[in-house]
Amino acid sequence: MTNKRLFGATLEQMRANLDTVTRDGFYFNFLLCADEMMFQWDGLPDTIDAKHLEDYLNISGCVGFARGTDIQTGKTGLYIAPYAARSGVQDQYGEGTELQATTPNGIELRGVLGVDACIMYNNTARSAQTDLIFTTDTYTQIDKSSIANVIFSRVAPLFKTDSDKTTETIQGIIEDIVSGTFGVVTDANVFNDNTLDIKTGDGISCVDITHPERIQYLQYLSEFFDVVTRRHFARRGLTLKTSAKHAQVSQDEVHGLDSVSWFYPLNKLKARRDAVDIINGIFGTEITVRFSDIWEQEYQAYLLRILKTDTESERGVKYDVESVSNVDDTANAETNPDSAAVV
């Protein structure tokens, strides 16, 4: 039995809870965890939780900031609400100049934007993190295909019998095989029926409906999973090291594909900092936001690789080499010392 002390629940309890867990839900939360870790927040008031702030930004695309009163506790302070809407008088771009938002527990947030309210966006395009859903769906389909390949790799003939007794016995044998237990035939007639096809060509008819060799396709599904994962996190500035490799691709070419894109993480950071400047100016707070340690380390390593492989005349890169000289870039140096990260 699974150790409850280690895992918090026995295997039986975990299986009993599977009816409340979906594959889509698991993968979405798995990907969301990474996005929640992208930024480090400091100076937030005690009425605002960094996790929910990031969840609101990634899932709804925006967060409304304003003072409000919790009708349950009577506490007044700065609160946040997802799906913030613009209302009131429109500006020259047709956008409302007032905030209208409500927290999940009913706290109404109202105010004039830039005066006593602010809307923070997930990115400058003001869009939610919909790629989490797209990647989640791809993961789910890969899993379904993998399961189908495993099932179809079994030798599973379709039987035809002439009696209910024989059918029942064969079904029992198959169930025993699937469960991993050995079956014993106690009926001599059934045993004879099963062996008549060897002796005379008569007896129980069957046809193979699966293809054991299909198990070979699992390697391609596994590689596809790695490719999807690499592309997802490459958009977030993270290079993942995987072992997937086509036979026609050299090892150098594989490592040459270890490129990342930093424009999107930097764009998300800018959208947050722009709003923080407004919020601090309105409410006198000292909120700050930066890349988390993981992303900051990767960003500095990225800059270091650019400096190693680019000259200022080629890209106009101006950065103090000494400031990134202490970055541990061993992994990239060993596998691909001459390749450049691509913006």
The domain total for the chain is 1
End-to-end CA distance of the chain: give it in Å, rounded.
50
Task: Give the whole-angstrom CA distance, residue 18 versus residue 22.
Answer: 8
For residue 296, being part of any structural domain is answered with: no
What is the span of the domain harbouring residue 195? 156-209
Q: Length of the chain, please?
A: 343
Give ∠ CA 139-144-146 in degrees, rounded to 5. 95
pLDDT by residue for the chain (343 residues), tens only, comes to 444 445 456 667 766 666 666 888 889 999 999 999 999 999 999 999 999 999 999 999 999 999 999 888 888 999 999 999 999 999 999 999 999 999 999 999 999 999 999 999 999 999 999 999 999 999 999 998 888 888 777 766 777 777 787 788 778 777 877 777 776 666 676 666 655 554 444 456 777 777 777 788 888 888 889 889 988 999 999 887 765 555 445 555 444 445 678 999 999 999 999 999 999 999 999 999 999 999 999 998 888 877 665 555 445 545 454 454 454 444 444 444 343 333 3
Task: Give the whole-angstrom CA distance, residue 275 versus residue 261.
Answer: 23
Close Cβ partners of 335 (under 8 Å, ≥ 6 residues apart): 241, 255, 258
For residue 318, being part of any structural domain is answered with: no
Instruction: State if pTM tops 0.75.
Output: no
For residue 55, being part of any structural domain is answered with: no
For residue 293, being part of any structural domain is answered with: no
For residue 54, being part of any structural domain is answered with: no
Close Cβ partners of 177 (under 8 Å, ≥ 6 residues apart): 183
For residue 290, being part of any structural domain is answered with: no
For residue 186, being part of any structural domain is answered with: yes
For residue 48, being part of any structural domain is answered with: no
Task: Give the whole-angstrom CA distance, residue 28 versus residue 43.
Answer: 29
